[in-house]
Amino acid sequence: MAYSNKVFETYKLISNEINSLGSIDSKPLFFGLSININGITVGLITYSNDLIVRATPCSLPMLKDLSLEQHTYQKRNFIVRSGFFHYDLASEHTITLSELFEKTYLGALRVRRLQGEVRASTLNKMPNIKLSLAKKLKDIGIATPEELREQGAPMAFALIKMEHGDKLAESVLYKLDGAIKGVHEATISQIDRQRLKSDFNNILQELSDENC
């Protein structure tokens, strides 16, 4: 699908506003034209010329404070919530676009630092890890079994939720823990499940509340 002239006009307007944050560029992505700061995607302009902002640990509190609507798209017969939120350029906001994109960028850098620069590996050979879950792990910087073990299931699950915004089933948390232990998710005891849920909720709250 081709972009309209309005999309490029919007991109130029935004890039001029945020150019003090670093090197600004763009590239075509799945559902829009990306807005990148130093090579990291912080937002997208959709084909319909709507701006959507990426949620990261640093920007998510701002997005919630602004009560922005989460971007959704249809995949086959399902509605999928993306890791982006709609930002109406025509409306007045208490937070400037430059401030929001700066937090988005800092949050993305934090995730990258936490997980490290990694290469493709054999995550999908671990128990419970199918290709789709291995891809989500790679998206947050976990590309080897060793890195998954280092981060732990609760942290990995929290970062996937914040990066993708998908309504991931709770069972994914147990799949990750089982993969680390080398067992099937069904063998995870109820006590361990409760502990994993508690650890996940605490980590998610800390990532959301932490000052950037």
pTM of the predicted structure, to 2 decimals = 0.56
Q: Please give the CATH superfamily to which domain 123-210 belongs.
A: 5' to 3' exonuclease, C-terminal subdomain (1.10.150.20)
Domain ranges of the chain: 5-121, 123-210
Report the CATH architecture of 5-121: 2-Layer Sandwich (3.30)
Task: Give me Rg for the CA atoms of the chain.
Answer: 18
Could you give the C-alpha distances from 3 to 9, 14, 27, 35, 165, in angstroms and in order?
11, 16, 12, 14, 25
Q: What is the largest CA-CA distance in the chain?
A: 57
What confidence tens digit (pLDDT) does each residue in 13-49 have? 999 999 999 999 999 887 789 999 999 999 999 999 9
5-121 and 123-210: same fold? no
**3-state SS assignment for residue 14:** helix
Q: Quick one: average pLDDT of 111-125? A: 65
